[in-house]
């Protein structure tokens, strides 16, 4: 597979876009996205990490290049001493992951402190996701046929072409291309990084109620440090210290793992070093000043809703008027014809006259029922007008009770005959039609007999 994705020229210089650069930047973007999610989960503003990552990425690229040059020079490579411009001359080849972590981390811490953010909170969120970014970037090493180990007879050994061999394995007579296989060191590191990230991810959620600030970062130091120490045994391309098997990167990685163990023990309370006495156990989320709402006017929508709610009780009763027959109003004529000091014969005569004319006394208004709406409903041409039904005895009795309830004191003052007249008049007024002539006729006959 060709390591160069495509090339283009600018001012006579050829610029190559490589698979390695594209994969590394994809790993950076993926790690930044995961870190932003973790920052928000801890209650801090995720946009602060986006601003900080700009400085962290710039510092990381510069630091990765610087570390690579120093490491190569310590290993005996004098190319950068003889031609210093080659350090920044494109195409720039050679970046060291540890240098990117160190300088990028320093740039991140400086930015957080200057802006008043909690450093431990961001370190706990950012550090574990670097394992995923690093694991993704190792795919670029596979495309470039680099970061491999010594020869091996294991079934997962990979073949490396002659042009990508390091000087130790460049002799094709000793290491033929067809039969020689090498340790896939990049795959070892990629698998270990993914497993470490999954464990830290599980630990952070399993014990999230008791985790202290900096505890996740200490776990990352332990895994990243000791895993890299192990990987260095399969990196023959790394410069060694003298004639030993120990590389400079191995020393730095081992010290990183040890510092992670000390920090973890201090965070969980096993040890109490003097330098950790002032550390806070929890995160300190930066307080954001909210704009004052005293000068802000409320919208007009709630006022309109209040007015609409106030207008409803005024219009609602007019629309829902129950058809009540105003029977009690008809009782007024009874008071006018009540005889107090009339002779018995004249009272009977007057009573008979009143009972014989019930239609004139009963007004036409109680018969008409009011419509429920504001306007009467239009009848269809085919509809017939409902015939007026004669009310039952129960309805007459109920209506008479309602009309005579308020008139009881006046009835007691009159005589028995007058009371009889009132009852008959009341019955006649409650009945809405002239059907009540029979009771009036009977009572008239009785009065005539007594007169004779």
Using an 8 Å Cβ cutoff, are 27 and 134 in contact? yes
Task: Give the global pTM.
Answer: 0.61
pLDDT for the residue numbered 160: 93
Between CA 99 and CA 96 the distance in angstroms is 5
CA neighbor of 325 nearest in space, from 388, 385, 375, 370: 370
- Name the burial class of residue 305, with classes exposed (0-12), middle (13-18) and buried (19+) by CB atoms within 10 angstroms of its CB: exposed
pLDDT tens-place values along the chain, 452 residues long = 777 777 777 777 777 778 888 888 898 889 889 999 999 998 888 888 888 888 888 998 899 899 889 888 887 788 888 888 888 876 667 788 888 888 999 999 999 999 989 999 999 999 999 999 889 989 988 888 888 999 999 999 999 999 889 888 999 999 999 999 999 999 999 999 999 999 999 999 999 888 899 999 999 999 999 999 999 999 998 888 888 889 988 999 999 999 999 999 999 888 888 888 888 888 888 765 555 554 444 554 444 444 444 444 444 444 444 444 444 444 444 444 444 444 444 444 444 444 444 444 444 555 444 445 444 454 545 444 455 455 555 554 554 444 444 444 444 444 444 444 444 444 444 344 344 444 444 444 443 444 33
Using an 8 Å Cβ cutoff, are 436 and 358 in contact? yes
Between CA 123 and CA 268 the distance in angstroms is 17
- The 3-class secondary structure across the chain, one letter per residue, is CCCEEEEEEECCEEEEEEHHHHHHHHHHHHHHHHHHHHHHHCCCCHHHHHHHHHHHHHHHHHHHHHHHHHHHHHCCCCHHHHCHHHHCCCCCCCCCHHHHHHHHHHHHHHHHHHCCCCHHHHHHHHCCHHHHHHHHHHHHHHHCCCCCCCECCCCCCECCCHHHCCHHHCCCCCCCCCCCCECCHHHHHHHHHHHHHHHHHHHHHHCCCCCCCCHHHHHHHHHHHHHHHHHHHHCCCCCECCCCCCEHHHHHHHHHHHHHHHHHHHHHCCCCCHHHCCCCCCCCCCCCCCCCCCCCCCCCHHHHHHHHHHHHHHHHHHHCCCCCCCCHHHHHHHHHCCCCCCCHHHHHHHHHHHHHCHHHHCCCHHHCCCCCCCCCCCCCCCCCCCCCCCCCHHHHHHHHHHHHHHHHHHHHHCCHHHHHHHHHHHHHHHCCCCCCHHHHHHHHHHHHHHHC
Between CA 226 and CA 253 the distance in angstroms is 6
Using an 8 Å Cβ cutoff, are 43 and 57 in contact? no
Cβ neighbours of 179 (radius 10 Å): 8
CA neighbor of 219 nearest in space, from 192, 231, 232, 201: 201
Place of tokens 């061999």: 165
Two tokens, residue 236: 């023959």
What is the Cα 123 distance to its own chain's centre?
Answer: 26
- Name the burial class of residue 304, with classes exposed (0-12), middle (13-18) and buried (19+) by CB atoms within 10 angstroms of its CB: exposed
pLDDT for the residue numbered 124: 93
Using an 8 Å Cβ cutoff, are 169 and 151 in contact? yes
Domain borders along the chain are 4-149+184-276, 328-360+392-451
């Amino acid at each position: 597979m060709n390591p160069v994705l495509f090339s283009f020229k600018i001012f006579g210089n050829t610029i190559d876009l490589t698979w390695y650069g594209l994969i590394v930047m994809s790993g950076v973007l993926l790690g930044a996205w995961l870190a932003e999610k973790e920052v928000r989960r801890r209650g801090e503003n995720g946009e602060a990490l986006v601003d900080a990552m700009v400085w962290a990425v710039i510092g990381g690229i510069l630091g990765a290049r610087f570390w690579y040059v120093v490491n190569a020079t310590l290993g005996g490579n004098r190319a950068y001493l003889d031609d210093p411009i080659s350090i920044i001359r494109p195409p720039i080849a050679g970046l060291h992951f540890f240098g990117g972590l160190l300088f990028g981390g320093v740039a991140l811490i400086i930015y957080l402190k200057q802006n008043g953010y909690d450093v431990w909170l961001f370190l706990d969120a950012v550090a574990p996701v670097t394992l995923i970014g690093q694991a993704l970037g190792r795919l670029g090493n596979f495309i470039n046929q680099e970061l491999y180990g010594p020869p091996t007879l294991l079934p997962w050994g990979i073949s490396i072409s002659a042009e990508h061999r390091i000087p130790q394995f460049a002799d094709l007579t000793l290491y033929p291309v067809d039969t020689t296989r090498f340790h896939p060191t990049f795959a070892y590191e990629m698998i270990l990084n993914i497993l470490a990230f999954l464990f830290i991810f599980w630990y952070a959620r399993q014990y999230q109620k008791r985790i202290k600030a900096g505890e996740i970062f200490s776990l990352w130091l332990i895994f990243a440090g000791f895993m890299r120490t192990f990987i260095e045994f399969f990196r023959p391309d790394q410069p060694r210290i003298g004639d030993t098997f120990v590389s400079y990167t191995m020393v730095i990685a081992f010290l990183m793992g040890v510092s992670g163990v000390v920090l973890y023990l201090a965070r969980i309370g096993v040890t109490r070093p003097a330098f950790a006495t002032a550390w806070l156990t929890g995160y300190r989320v930066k307080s954001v000043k909210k704009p004052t709402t005293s000068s802000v006017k409320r919208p007009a929508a709630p006022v309109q809703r209040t007015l609409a709610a106030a207008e409803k009780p005024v219009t609602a009763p007019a629309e829902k008027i129950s058809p009540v027959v105003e029977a009690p109003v008809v009782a007024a004529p009874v008071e006018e014809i009540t005889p107090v000091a009339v002779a018995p014969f004249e009272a009977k005569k007057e009573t008979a006259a009143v009972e014989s004319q019930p239609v004139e006394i009963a007004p036409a208004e109680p018969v008409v029922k009011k419509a429920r709406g504001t306007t009467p409903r239009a009848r269809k041409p085919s509809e017939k007008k409902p015939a007026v039904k004669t009310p039952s005895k129960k309805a007459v009795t109920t209506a008479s009770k309602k009309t005579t309830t308020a008139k009881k004191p006046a009835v007691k003052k009159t005589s028995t005959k007058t009371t009889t007249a009132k009852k008959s008049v009341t019955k006649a007024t409650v009945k809405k039609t002239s059907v009540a002539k029979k009771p009036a006729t009977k009572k008239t006959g009785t009065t005539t007999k007594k007169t004779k």
